[in-house]
């Protein structure tokens, strides 16, 4: 099967997917997808997908949750600093 993204006729060895896209792509396109933070799955593992499907689905979610945690944590620190400025009598 050929890459569905770059149309150079390279063999599609990976599957990239988000809520919006789900396509089979070549190695170069898979690398680009990884850089963009898109989930990439090796097509050879397709046979084991039933068993690993949940883990593969959960990983990007866990990743996003980690980012969100850091984001909210830094907001929390910023809020504490602002409060500290207000109550600077300490
Ligand atoms: Zn490609």
pTM: 0.48
Neighbours of ion ligand 1 (CB under 5 A): 3, 5-6, 25-26, 29
**Higher model confidence: residue 44 or residue 72?**
44
What is the pLDDT at residue 52?
A: 53
User: Quick one: pLDDT at residue 21?
Assistant: 86
Name the residue with higher pLDDT: 3 or 77. Answer: 3
Q: Residue 28 Cα, ligand 1 centroid: separation in angstroms?
A: 6
Query: Distance of CA 76 to CAs 44, 61, 73, 83, 89, Å?
Result: 43, 22, 5, 10, 20
CA 88 to centroid of ligand 1, rounded, Å? 57
Q: Enumerate the β-bridge partners of residue 24.
A: 15
């Amino acid at each position: 099967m050929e890459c569905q993204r770059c149309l150079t006729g390279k063999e599609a060895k990976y599957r990239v997917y988000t809520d919006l896209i789900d396509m089979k792509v070549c190695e170069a396109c898979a690398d680009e997808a990884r850089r963009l933070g898109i989930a990439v799955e090796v097509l050879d593992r397709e046979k084991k997908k039933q068993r690993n499907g949940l883990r593969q689905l959960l990983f990007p979610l866990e990743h996003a949750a980690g980012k969100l945690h850091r984001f909210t944590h830094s907001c929390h620190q910023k809020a504490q600093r602002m409060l500290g400025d207000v109550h600077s009598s300490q």
